[in-house]
């Protein structure tokens, strides 16, 4: 089986995030748990790094929703409403789900492949006079600096080498999957 085009994987990731954004409750919890477990098995270093860097955001989201949402007070947690606790849990789950899926994407795609995929997705910007190449180069330089800080460079010298990839059957299958995930937004 041929490796999918990076743009297909990025679109699938975005479709998954959009589809799960409209769901809550037990379904959100199950999907989040499954994807966090997958990320722990397949992309643990990326997941740990993302969660560590987002811990204050997660805590802030929880506190803001739990203590700042009006509703039925919980006697065993002063200042927290039942509705606030539910909203806090859902938003924290959504962010953890996004981080887990991002960890999987970062495990699958190298920084260069990630830039190539984003560059492909930015093709429609040409109609507005925007250069997708300039955006891709800026992103590549940013990722190079991050990789350099970690000890692995993605750009050799002053030349950015992006892989030339064609869309194939695997990409069409991922497109159908992404479309069906987006279709769940209207169901």
Q: What would the pLDDT profile of 72-88 be if each residue is shown by its tens digit?
A: 888 888 888 999 999 99
On whether both 97 and 126 belong to a single domain, the answer is no
Residue 2 carries which DSSP code?
A: P
Q: 40-54 in b/e burial notation, b at 16+ Cβ within 10 A?
A: eeebeebbeebbeeb
Question: Percentage of the chain surpassing pLDDT 70?
Answer: 88
Q: Is 102 exposed, middle or buried (CB count within 10 Å of its CB: 0-12, 13-18, 19+)? A: middle
Question: Is the model's pLDDT at 142 over the cut of 90?
Answer: no
Flag whether pLDDT at 163 surpasses 80.
no
141 touches 111 (CB < 8 A)? no
Shared domain check, 138 and 91: no
pLDDT band at 179 (very low <50, low <70, confident <90, very high): confident
Asked if residue 147 is part of any domain, the answer here is: yes
Task: Give the integer Cα–Cα distance in Å for 136 and 155.
Answer: 12
Question: Residue length, the chain?
Answer: 187
- Is residue 174 a contact partner of residue 11, using CB atoms and an 8 Å limit? yes
Indicate if 137 and 166 belong to the same structural domain. Answer: yes
Q: Which residue range(s) make up the domain with 125?
A: 111-172
3-state helix, strand, coil in the chain (%, to 5): 75, 0, 25
**CA atoms of 180 and 69, how far apart (whole Å):** 34
Whole-prediction pTM value? 0.75
Domain boundary among 62, 92, 109: 109
- pLDDT of 162 > 70? The answer is no
| Residue 181 domain-assigned (yes or no) | no
Is there a single domain that holds both residue 86 and residue 123? no
Among residues 59, 92, 109, which one ends one of the domains?
109
Are residues 45 and 127 located together in one domain of the fold?
no
Residues 138 and 101 in one domain: no
**123 and 88 within one domain:** no
């Amino acid at each position: 089986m041929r490796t999918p085009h990076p743009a297909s994987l990025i679109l699938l990731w975005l479709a998954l995030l959009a589809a799960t954004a409209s769901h809550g409750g037990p379904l959100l919890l199950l999907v989040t748990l499954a994807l966090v477990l997958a990320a722990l098995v397949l992309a643990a270093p990326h997941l740990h790094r993302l969660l560590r860097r987002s811990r204050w955001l997660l805590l802030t989201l929880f506190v803001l929703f739990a203590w700042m949402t009006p509703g039925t007070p919980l006697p065993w947690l002063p200042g927290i409403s039942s509705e606030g606790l539910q909203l806090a849990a859902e938003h924290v789950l959504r962010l953890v789900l996004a981080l887990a899926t991002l960890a999987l994407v970062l495990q699958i795609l190298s920084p260069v492949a990630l830039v190539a995929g984003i560059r492909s997705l930015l093709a429609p910007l040409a109609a507005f006079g925007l250069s997708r190449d300039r955006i891709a180069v800026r992103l590549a330089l940013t990722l190079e600096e991050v990789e350099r800080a970690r000890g692995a460079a993605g750009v050799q010298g002053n030349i950015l080498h992006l892989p030339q990839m064609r869309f194939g059957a695997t990409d069409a299958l991922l497109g159908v999957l992404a479309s069906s995930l987006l279709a769940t937004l209207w169901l």
